[in-house]
Amino acid sequence: MNIESISKRFAEVVQLLDSKGVIKSISQLADTLDTHKQSLSEILKGKRNLTMELASKICDIYSVNPAYLLLGTQPKFNSPESVGKRNNISYVPVKVQAGYGEQLDNPIFEADLEKFSLPGSHHQDDDYRCFEVEGDSMFPAYQNGDKVICSSLPTIYLSQAIRDYMVYVIVTENSLLLKRIVNRIKTDQCLELISDNDLFAPKLLPIQDVLEVWKVESLITSRNFPHRKEAS
């Protein structure tokens, strides 16, 4: 999923809502979405990427189909049958990650997280998290500003559930870490955390410091991938 493409589809949806008279002006839309008019205008002009918060709001308020906005899957707007679909992916941006581990038992914190949904049965059966990537320790596969959609692993079965060298988000009291893991729970009561970027050395994390582990399932990125060159 490319955020620039998502932003373009957002602009198309706004243009369609405007043509149908659903929205009267950019100012009115900005007020409805609780955002700044200038920021909204820059998104519509392609000068700024759409945030997950605004994507969630326009889907909820104007019945925009999240599958269209995120993946380009028609139709643009929800059918009556799909309006009640549960938003089961909670978005955890960088700005709230510092206190995430300390707030795990706080239902108000969980309720305040932005939520959205994705198409496909594998994204509907349980609750997921969308974590914003910070830093370049997992470069080049995961870059600063990317988002990863993750499924939860049961903490009591981590020794069986964690697969070596797969990518996970590890939650401790003071940090969220996106790393590949070597599972050393049975032998050393720890996880070996490995970065894709060779500038970052592997480190050991005692299992008693681990509060949650989330398996990375999907990636949302703003990067433009090169097109395949045609044979000459």
Is the distance from CB of 10 to CB of 69 less than 8 angstroms?
A: yes
Phi, psi of 182 (to 5 degrees): -105, 120
Length of the chain equals: 232
Note whether 149 and 198 are same-domain residues.
yes
62 and 140 part of one domain: no
Are 93 and 192 part of one and the same domain? yes
Supply the CATH number for residue 22's domain: 1.10.260.40
Number of domains in the chain: 2
- Asked if 136 and 212 sit in the same domain, the reply is yes
pLDDT digits (tens, 9 = 90+) for 4-48: 889 999 999 998 888 777 887 888 899 899 999 999 999 998 899
User: What confidence category does residue 203 fall into, taking pLDDT thresholds of 50, 70 and 90?
Assistant: very high
Whether residue 124 contacts residue 67, with contact meaning beta carbons closer than 8 Å, is answered with no
- Regarding whether 123 and 214 lie in a shared domain, the answer is yes
* Residue 81 domain-assigned (yes or no): no
Which pLDDT score is estimated for 82? 46
Is the confidence at residue 189, as pLDDT, over 70? Answer: yes
Average pLDDT rounded to a whole number, residues 203-217 = 96
CA proximity to 13, closest of 29, 37, 2: 29
Same-domain status, 61 and 129 = no
- Mark whether 46 and 93 lie in a shared domain: no
Q: Is the peptide bond between 75 and the residue preceding it cis, with omega within 30 degrees of 0? A: yes
Residue 213 has pLDDT above 50, yes or no: yes
Q: How confident is the prediction for the chain on average, in pLDDT?
A: 87
Nearest to 56 by CA among 66, 44, 71, 46: 66
Q: Residue 206: which CATH number?
A: 2.10.109.10
Query: How do residues 46-73 score in pLDDT, each as one tens digit?
Result: 899 998 889 988 988 888 988 888 888 8
Q: Mark whether 128 and 191 lie in a shared domain.
A: yes
Same domain as 93, residue 206: yes
pTM: predicted TM-score of the whole model, two decimal places: 0.66
Show the CA angle centred on residue 231, arms to residues 228 and 232, nearest 5°: 135
Asked whether residue 29 is domain-assigned, the answer is yes
- Note whether 128 and 192 are same-domain residues: yes
Q: Output the CA–CA distances (angstroms, integers) from residue 187 to 78, 167, 183, in the order listed.
A: 51, 21, 9
Higher pLDDT: 46 or 187? It is: 187
Range of the domain at 150: 89-97+118-220
Same domain, residue pair 202 and 93? yes
Q: Domain for residue 105, yes or no?
A: no
Question: Using one digit for the tens of pLDDT, what is the confidence trace for 131-170?
Answer: 999 999 999 999 999 999 999 898 888 999 999 999 999 9
Placement of tokens 């299992």 in the chain: 207
Q: Are residues 127 and 202 in the same domain?
A: yes
